Amino acid sequence: MNLFGKHLVCTQDWSVEELEAVLGLAAEMKKDRFSPKYTSLLAYKTFFMFFYNPSVRTRQSFECAATELGGHAQFLEPSSMRLKTSKSAGETIEDAAKVMSRYACGLGIRILEDKVQKYGDGEALIREYCENATMPIVSMAHDKFHPCQGLADVQGAREHLGSIKGKKLLLVWGHGALARSWCSVQESILINSRLGMNVTIANPKGYDLDPEVIAATKKNCQANGTKFEVTNEPVECYRGADIVYSRNWMSPNAYDAEKGFQKAKEVEQALKYTEWITDSKKMALTNNALYTHPMPVDRGHEVSDEVCSGKRSIIYDVAENRLHAQKAIMALTMSKFDYKPAGKDSAKRPVAA
């Protein structure tokens, strides 16, 4: 399969067949990381990276991915460029996208909740680049979705469980001091529900996710004949889970009409819900579940150290898989590599009991 020129803003935009192509290629690339089949796919080509927000894994993994494909990743900070904003004159998205398309083979954009005035503005910016660019645009995380993280999550789960169809994913809110966006958790429930998992979302009242994303996830589950539920209960939700994904996320009231994202207020409120932490007692209710998190982890709030560093934790495998999933995305969308699956998407690699 070749997806040359295709944008990736959310996994829900792609067919299951296309997602499986990425996951299959990512697994093969991980197994044979420096194979000459892959090391010149982006030879002499440049991948631009717009970072409105800083990162650790995202920048590292994309730069490594470009290098291992024979290309180069160029780090760009929009604040240092003359780009038009609502408050300043400068180059429009249309002009910037069309010019950059003549330089590079692709553009990644990272723009999170604290860099936009209201929820959805980050996605709108990325989609405007998609409309005007003639190179593929990849979301490196925005205020609504994080497609690369979602693919890495699935790759990690399959490595340890084999098939994830019919398994239970528990996405559970955790109290903490980071006031995180919805992007990673919303991507997780979308892609996992499309690939056949039962999905349970557990959060305190007042921390509901985007209603449109909830509706899409419910529809995905209905199409697959799987279960979908939302609960405000912090303990019994763990019962029977095969994967536990704990994460703090903001409330729907996080944005002020004039001041934008209100982090301090969100943190102050979230820290009150101390019972919302993933610990060994709750994990004992699960089906010997894997523990996962997109990182950085707020240890002692979202999850206990015992669980986060325990034998069933796959956080480092998932973090590594960001590299392989992104290499696969770049190979399929930025080169004319025609991928033909060699076999199963990934081999099962059991975790110690």
pLDDT in tens, 45-71: 999 999 999 998 999 999 999 999 999
Q: Are residues 99 and 246 in the same domain?
A: no
Domain assignment present for 345: no
Per-residue pLDDT of 7-24, as tens digits, reads 999 999 999 999 999 999
Per-residue pLDDT of 195-235, as tens digits, reads 999 999 999 999 999 999 999 999 999 999 999 999 999 99
Number of domains in the chain: 2
Q: What is the DSSP letter of 114?
A: G
Q: Are residues 156 and 293 in the same domain?
A: yes
Domain assignment present for 90: yes
Decide: pTM greater than 0.75.
Answer: yes
**What are the counts of helices (DSSP H) followed by strands (DSSP E) for the chain?**
11, 11
**Picking from 57-66, 266-275, 289-298, 344-353, which range would have the lowest pLDDT averaged per residue?**
344-353
Q: What is the DSSP letter of 286?
A: S
Domain assignment present for 342: no
CA–CA separation, 39 and 37 (whole Å) = 6
**pLDDT above 80 (res 348):** no
Q: Are residues 225 and 311 in the same domain?
A: yes
Query: What pLDDT is recorded for position 104?
Result: 98
- Phi, psi dihedral angles at 106 (to 5 degrees): -175, 165
Q: Are residues 140 and 158 in the same domain?
A: no
Per-residue pLDDT of 63-99, as tens digits, reads 999 999 999 999 999 888 888 676 677 899 999 999 9
Per-residue pLDDT of 127-147, as tens digits, reads 999 999 999 999 999 999 999
Q: What is the mean pLDDT of residues 290-318?
A: 98
Q: Are residues 156 and 135 in the same domain?
A: no
Q: Are residues 197 and 106 in the same domain?
A: no
Summary mean pLDDT of the chain:
94
Q: What percent of the chain has pLDDT over 90?
A: 90
Torsion sign over Cα 306, 307, 311, 316: negative
**pLDDT above 90 (res 352):** no
Q: Are residues 66 and 204 in the same domain?
A: no
Domain assignment present for 131: yes
Q: Are residues 48 and 178 in the same domain?
A: no
Query: What pLDDT is recorded for position 87?
Result: 67
Label residue 2 by pLDDT band (50, 70, 90).
Answer: confident
CA–CA separation, 87 and 338 (whole Å) = 44
Q: Are residues 137 and 35 in the same domain?
A: yes
Nearest Cα to Cα of residue 28 among 318, 347, 334:
347
- Phi, psi dihedral angles at 95 (to 5 degrees): -65, -45
Q: Are residues 160 and 76 in the same domain?
A: no
Q: Are residues 302 and 173 in the same domain?
A: yes
Higher pLDDT, 311 or 178: 311
3-class SS of residue 138: strand
Owning domain of residue 33: 11-145+321-334
Domain assignment present for 256: yes
Domain assignment present for 348: no
Q: Could you tell me which residues come within 8 angstroms of residue 47 by beta carbon, excluding any fewer than 6 positions away?
A: 62, 66, 71, 72, 73, 74, 104, 105, 106, 107, 108, 330, 334
Q: What is the CATH number of the domain that holds 90?
A: 3.40.50.1370
Domain assignment present for 264: yes
Domain assignment present for 344: no
**pLDDT above 90 (res 347):** no
Do 179 and 220 meet the contact criterion of CB atoms below 8 Å apart?
no
Buried b / exposed e over 268-304, threshold 16 CB at 10 Å, is ebbeebeebbbeeebbebbeebbbbbbeebbbebbbb
Q: Are residues 184 and 275 in the same domain?
A: yes
